[in-house]
Structure 1
């Protein structure tokens, strides 16, 4: 995601409270370094994060991923409140960080994003999400959507993203 933002002319800053040790995380870090995308050093020093947030327009939340099961552990238990306290708009990918993928927001530490972009299909845990909710990508073949009764919205024309709304303008899943 940060590399795509960089390719589209944005200047992202990456904050990983605890960098992953798997090869995929190391490759992402290398890609970002090669593109000149700044990565804040992991530490409990909130000053670097506060400084980065003060020069930011939005927070793109993709900390845990769609398989998260609580509880939120250190150092994330300190990072999430810092993001919330920044007062910047938050856009979460797939499920807000700190939310259980099946049960939803069960901890007070979970982020309350303004916007949620679900990939493939909405996760069970976002049923009570109150902000704007979009579905990104046409990744589910119709046969699977029908088989699992996913009730996915229709994409207009060749669009790759669609907002979940009802006739009265309220959100739906």
Structure 2
């Protein structure tokens, strides 16, 4: 009996497909890359709200950060810029620390902070045409010595592959499913994708790993 169970377990393990890494070069319905198509279906077909997705991803990112680093809540003075001011107010309501600007002095950042969370550029960013203020911030991030944790795609990386012009984070938190560039990431890698409906996971053959207990993220 034990031998039969052992053989069955081995056969099941052999049929497990590898985790899928999403690519923007693969188009769905002739119009969108996989990551964008999945988000569209979540909003349109499964009635997720945009703010709801942001909160789900934000919670997972916060948990991943606290697994690796000592959390310290810091709320800077509000910027006079209306967009920054509105965003800072929202972050304060959710108890999320947010800097309305990034100091350009590298040593100042190294001395004043223990960690930088990089969520500056997303999967759709054109890394070959980065404009100000992002290009200047990227230069600063590449010089700092404190740890960096990147959300979804490290800033300066192409979604398809790692870029030598990008930053080098210690931690990467992939949202929904990892992007293709993450195959070359060598640091601590977390995935926030437990919320995905089974039908979407099956349709896009994501082959997500099991999430431990009630956790909303898993270390890859």
Instruction: Please say which structure displays the higher CA radius of gyration.
Output: 2
User: Using a 3 Å threshold, how does the CA distance of structure 1 residues 57 and 146 change in structure 2: closer, same or farther?
Assistant: same
Task: Tell me, yes or no, if structure 1 residue 131 matches structure 2 residue 187.
Answer: yes
CA shift, 1:96, in A, is 0.3
Contact 1:81-1:109 within 8 A present in 2 as well: no
Distance 1:89 1:37 in 2: 16
User: What 5-or-longer segments of structure 1 have no aligned partner?
Assistant: 165-173
Q: Report which of the two has the higher share of helix.
A: 2
User: What 5-or-longer segments of structure 2 have no aligned partner?
Assistant: 1-57
- TM-score for both structures, normalised by structure 2: 0.56
User: Using a 3 Å threshold, how does the CA distance of structure 1 residues 20 and 125 change in structure 2: closer, same or farther?
Assistant: farther
Q: State the 4+ residue runs in structure 1 displaced beyond 6 angstroms.
A: 33-36
The residue number in structure 1 matching 2:156 is 98
CA shift, 1:135, in A, is 0.5
Task: Tell me, yes or no, if structure 1 residue 30 matches structure 2 residue 92.
Answer: no
Distance 1:123 1:90 in 2: 18
Q: Report which of the two has the higher share of strand.
A: 1
Task: Tell me, yes or no, if structure 1 residue 152 matches structure 2 residue 152.
Answer: no
- TM-score for both structures, normalised by structure 1: 0.69
- SS in structure 1 opposite 2:206? coil
- Equivalenced residues, count: 149
Contact 2:75-2:92 within 8 A present in 1 as well: no
Pairing 1:73-88 to 2, within 5 Å after superposition:
73-88=131-146
